[in-house]
Structure 1
Amino acid sequence: MASHSPIPSTSTNVDLLVALHPEATEIIQSFEFLFDDDFIRGDRHLLALTGGDGSGSVSISEMLCSFSKLRKFKQINLVKEALTMSLYLEVVDDTHVKRRYPLTKPPFVKPELDKKKREIAEVLEKSPWLTKGMLKTTGFEINAPVNPPSAEEYKRENEHYNLEESFLVRIETAINRFAARGKKHQKTHAIFESFLSFGGISCGPRQFANNHDAKQLAREGFDKEEIAQMTHHYTIAEIVKDGIVDDLITGPTWVVDFEAIAKAFLSSHFTASFDWCNEAEVMLAANILRRFYIYLILFDVCPEFKAQLTAAMKACDEAERELKDLAITDRKLPGHFNEACSKLFGDQITVNEGVKSKDWSALEDVNVLSLKPEEPLLIFKAAMYAYGSDEQLDQLESSELISTLATLTFQGTVGLEVVEIQDVSENAAKIYNDEQFLGTVVQPLAKVKCIFWDNPSADPNDLPEDVVKAYQSKNYEFLVEEEILQYCYVGTKMDVTVKELENGLMWLSSVETVYPTFFTWLPNERIYDWKEPGPPKEWMKRASERKREKFNGESVEICDDDEEGYGDASNSGPD
């Protein structure tokens, strides 16, 4: 039993300590144990933290993160208060702790920081909700190596996949065996299950398995493989099983397409459900999908789909590379030039109506807050000098600038796809290097050309056919800061509001959503969770009756489907 000297063990008033904090005595004893002569003289890491001789002070936060013995003490302020009661330790600057007395004997190990322990401490200090167990390697980490299986492992795993069995049987087995190959942290598990659900997999034990455990099934004569299949956590959804069968009349309603599912999940479902602007989260999602596909290839689960699996892995690579840049594009668009146009023209002009005011500084745009009052005109002039047509330059010098630019000939919310990104022109480079623009808010602009894109995920619209055709046939060309376009790709898609003046000047009034080049939308988004509406529930009937009574017998038509939610899938099905 280690003991520290020359001071006797803590403790003055135990009742006072317990009143201060229920764990106060344990906190003090745990810290004193670590700073004890016998312990600290043999602990390389703590010696290094205390200056090599045990006399220095150590951050209390780092102590809590570095030593598992202390990790259970969560409230740092109460830990500090408890330590002030120690006769052996001293709290320094309200953040550090140290021994009150020097070591009685020299250390018998060389002070040396434990790199791994220090890294863990730094992570835990930044993310106190984590535990050391959550930091243990699982094999699903982004940089974890993927080693080819040994001959023994290949044989053991591959024997579960008989190519004479249907694909559905093999893939269901593979999903469950892959899911069991090592612990997954909470976020990894959430992403993987979201991916499976999106692809038509039910996550949860089979309905009949709830009342049948493995032992009971074994007693009933089922072998291990049959029991494994009967108690699978992940199963092919019935709607998918039924839909994959090729009906002679309608054909299959569900098809196997690994590449499309990977692209649709990473570009649509994942971006809607997770923090796609967080690079680490994107890398994690791409990694878990990629490792799943590698498992399917390594163990010959479905060799008939090897080309699709290879393409799906490439989609994961695309997502890693592109989504981090797309997040920057999303944050920076529409850019200062387009903001300037909105401030100068956006809210003050209606379609085919002029604005008589000649004072640009008086124009207001509540949607643009990032530019100072004098900056929009400066940005606009620089852009016109750099890229303006002769007509636009003549208008720029006109004394009636606003009236000549006042007619707005086009405005609309459309989907666009980038088809060309140009470099800053030679003439524009000279303009932006002029001393009147250097050191100002003005940044070099480049041109980006777009075409109409019919967003398959957009809500239906009731626009007249001629308006839709006008949107589709229009040439879209914008000026955007070069600093933004470096993160943009040919093929990037976006939902935007476009405005255009009579002289041809077009700008992005707003950018609602941006999509990667590989954006794919599948009916899975809507079909998989849909259920046949069931009969109205009792509470719905009661609500309808109360509504009728409210009108005192008046004849009032009530739309049950809309107002009572009879057609809502969430309320469907029998009680």
Structure 2
Amino acid sequence: MSLITETAPSSKVATWTESVHAPHPQASEILRQVDYYFSEENLVSDPYLLGFTGKEGTNPVSLSLIMGFKKMKQFRPKTAVREVLKHSTVVEVVDTGHIRRRYPLGRPLLVKPLIDVNRYKKALAENQHLTKGMLKPTGFEKNAVEGPIRPEEYEEDRKKYDPEESFVTRIELAVTNFCARRKMHQGTRKIFTDLLHLGGFSNVHQFQGMSKKEQKRQGVELDDIADFKICDEVENAYYAEWEDGEKGDWVVDFESLAKSFLSDVFLREYPWYDEQQVKMATMVLRNFYNYLLLHNVCPEYEDQLEAARMICDVAETELPKLAMVDQSLPGAFNSACSTLCGGSYTDVHISQDGWASGCDNMGLSRQEAKVIIGVGVAAYGSREQIEKLAPVLSGDAGLKYTSSHKLGLVVVNVEPPNDYAKAAYNQLREHEGVDKYVHPMGKLHCKRWDMPFEPPTDLPKAARVVDTASFEFLVEESTLQYCIPGMKIEATIRELDVGLQYIDSIEATYPSFYTWLPNEVVGRWKEPGPPKTWMQRQQAQRDGKALDQVRDSTSNHDGGQDDGEFSDGGPD
């Protein structure tokens, strides 16, 4: 999180950090100017640029458009400008012709985006890399409705999805029919394919369906497209524990599958900071579940499908908040403790006279850190803690910590700033410049979370100690408003010698519905093939060494008999 607010470019040009290898002689000016265009201070009040970036500020924008701005016309060529922007912390280069803001806007808009309908359609096609044909209805639109179906169609579905048939047969047919009635582009197809892989489908083909022209040419009806299978088979990807040496029955769990995909796979493989990407993912999943319910594909799992649809709603609401939490933690107070404690944020500070631009995260100076810690301890600390910290805050001594642990945390409660904390903050605001890095703080209450991917322990269950320890951290109100009970954090925490706990660094954040399934491991496993030639050579060498060891040990045991007693084929 940037602790210094973004400012417009000044007359003083910052020094490029890699001046010898700078892609452009005016690299510093390019960075400062483009970062300012996309900064929160400017973008929330720029109706023209908002018309391209959208309300969240993260839609891709043509680099040619930006270079057409009055202050950018002096910078050429385009390729060099693009290379410079790869070093920006505010924008990212999407492809050879587009850039976009890295994170959604965290402030409310001050103006209404100026959107031209014709320009919007053209920008949509460019940004999503779609053809004109792909702008036609796909079946995935938000208001797209399939149904109600006629009685004769219902009877046909009963024949196709006969409950007497195995679940595997019905779900394979349903997936194929679903794809035949949808027009998928690259993004929606990848989401659906990854969901199928996680659910146990093997060898999923990139099935796009047949156009009406192709159907007419080959004389194929829409219902006959089901003969073109989208997958080879459904694997038993999620087994129960083995009992008596035999595999248990494999589990069908639509709800857990939706949780695992949206909380694990999606966060690892997709740009989940982009709210539009979140909406696309939940839309694809929800559309598939609606199809299964409408056509009564698996009535025995109707409750699970309803629960899976609810997970899509939860994800669409929670993931944008998680993105804000992931972006802003550990926050100013915790960063201040880390700065004075020899932690992750020590020596990160860069003075405003250095090379960094105003929108970079320049860390905290020791004086800024002392002010932030002083306000937090004054608002929430005990008299004893205030007295112990007084020498540190008034001198050059650093903080000391007694323990440091990397562990999982789950949020149990969010406590907003109390009246005393708000009063302390308001009093400090009278000092010029302090309000840039001192903000009202509340408490984030957490408890230990056992991460599913932690190293296993060899202790039996009876000997394991249940960790019931609770943690509380001072966090800024601007971050607490996005925290939800149940959210999970992988972090390094430290306890100061004065009894305060702080978050030194954040490794990862997870939504409240985070679920890990062993399907991910099984899906990546492949049947080993025959040994290669080099494998056979190594095995032969190992076998030869093993035979030599047997000869030596036998010789020593028998008092040193002749090595020639044995041949490669064994004893004579």
TM-score (norm 1): 0.63
Q: Is the 8 A contact 1:120 1:132 kept in 2?
A: no
Q: Is the 8 A contact 1:263 1:518 kept in 2?
A: yes
Distance in 2 between the 1:193 and 1:449 partners? Answer: 39
Please name the residue that 1:31 is paired with: none
Alignment of 1:200-239 (within 5 A): 200-204=200-204, 231-239=228-236
Distance in 1 between the 2:300 and 2:316 partners? Answer: 27
Q: C-alpha offsets along residues 460-495 of structure 1, whole Å, 9 cap, x if unaligned?
A: 479999x9859x243211011110111110000011
Letter in 1 for 2:307: A
Distance in 2 between the 1:262 and 1:136 partners? Answer: 28
Please name the residue that 1:424 is paired with: 417
Distance in 1 between the 2:125 and 2:132 partners? Answer: 8
- Which segment is superposed worse, 366-375 or 287-296? 366-375
**Structure 2 CA distance for partners of 1:492 and 1:249, relative to 1, 3 Å:** same
Q: Does 1:266 align with 2:262?
A: yes
Shift of residue 250 of structure 1? Answer: 4.6
Alignment of 1:147-186 (within 5 A): 147-151=146-150, 152-186=152-186
Q: Is the 8 A contact 2:406 2:493 kept in 1?
A: yes
SS of residue paired to 1:447: strand
Letter in 1 for 2:512: T
**Structure 2 CA distance for partners of 1:427 and 1:226, relative to 1, 3 Å:** closer
Q: Is the 8 A contact 1:259 1:315 kept in 2?
A: yes
Please name the residue that 1:288 is paired with: 284
SS of residue paired to 1:120: helix
Please name the residue that 1:455 is paired with: 451
Alignment of 1:451-490 (within 5 A): 451-460=447-456, 469=465, 472-490=467-485
**Structure 2 CA distance for partners of 1:373 and 1:544, relative to 1, 3 Å:** farther
Please name the residue that 1:34 is paired with: none
SS of residue paired to 1:308: helix
SS of residue paired to 1:442: coil
Q: C-alpha offsets along residues 33-52 of structure 1, whole Å, 9 cap, x if unaligned?
A: xxxxxxxxxxxxxxxxxxxx
Distance in 1 between the 2:242 and 2:293 partners? Answer: 26
Distance in 1 between the 2:415 and 2:474 partners? Answer: 10
Shift of residue 370 of structure 1? Answer: 2.1
Please name the residue that 2:85 is paired with: none
Q: Is the 8 A contact 1:347 1:365 kept in 2?
A: no
Alignment of 1:305-454 (within 5 A): 305-347=301-343, 364=347, 369-398=362-391, 406-435=399-428, 436=430, 439-454=435-450
**Structure 2 CA distance for partners of 1:205 and 1:403, relative to 1, 3 Å:** closer
Letter in 1 for 2:167: F
CA RMSD between the two structures:
4.2
Please name the residue that 2:187 is paired with: 187
Distance in 2 between the 1:380 and 1:468 partners? Answer: 37
Distance in 2 between the 1:370 and 1:404 partners? Answer: 19
Shift of residue 320 of structure 1? Answer: 0.4
Q: C-alpha offsets along residues 423-452 of structure 1, whole Å, 9 cap, x if unaligned?
A: 111111111110456634101111011111
**Structure 2 CA distance for partners of 1:463 and 1:273, relative to 1, 3 Å:** farther
Q: Does 1:520 align with 2:515?
A: yes
Distance in 2 between the 1:332 and 1:292 partners? Answer: 34
SS of residue paired to 1:433: helix
Please name the residue that 2:123 is paired with: 122
User: % of aligned pairs identical?
Assistant: 40
Shift of residue 171 of structure 1? Answer: 1.1
Q: C-alpha offsets along residues 156-208 of structure 1, whole Å, 9 cap, x if unaligned?
A: 444311122121111111111111112101110001000001000124469xx
Q: Is the 8 A contact 2:180 2:222 kept in 1?
A: no
Q: Is the 8 A contact 1:405 1:502 kept in 2?
A: no
Q: Is the 8 A contact 1:395 1:401 kept in 2?
A: no
SS of residue paired to 1:439: helix
Instruction: Structure 1 unaligned segments of length 5 or more: list them.
Output: 1-58, 63-75, 78-113, 207-223, 349-360, 549-554, 556-575
Structure with bigger RCO (C-alpha 8 Å, 6+ apart)? 2
SS of residue paired to 1:457: coil
**Structure 2 CA distance for partners of 1:414 and 1:541, relative to 1, 3 Å:** same
Q: Is the 8 A contact 2:326 2:508 kept in 1?
A: yes
SS of residue paired to 1:378: helix
Distance in 1 between the 2:133 and 2:472 partners? Answer: 53
Larger CA Rg, structure 1 vs 2: 1
**Structure 2 CA distance for partners of 1:230 and 1:284, relative to 1, 3 Å:** same
Letter in 1 for 2:233: I
Letter in 1 for 2:376: A
Q: Is the 8 A contact 1:346 1:365 kept in 2?
A: no
TM-score (norm 2): 0.63
Distance in 2 between the 1:463 and 1:400 partners? Answer: 45
- Tell me the number of residue pairs that the alignment of Structure 1 and Structure 2 aligns: 411
Please name the residue that 1:509 is paired with: 504
Distance in 1 between the 2:326 and 2:138 partners? Answer: 33
Distance in 1 between the 2:193 and 2:125 partners? Answer: 26
Instruction: Structure 2 unaligned segments of length 5 or more: list them.
Output: 1-61, 66-77, 80-114, 207-220, 351-360, 544-548, 550-572
Q: Is the 8 A contact 2:491 2:504 kept in 1?
A: yes
Q: Is the 8 A contact 2:339 2:366 kept in 1?
A: no
Q: Is the 8 A contact 2:177 2:226 kept in 1?
A: no
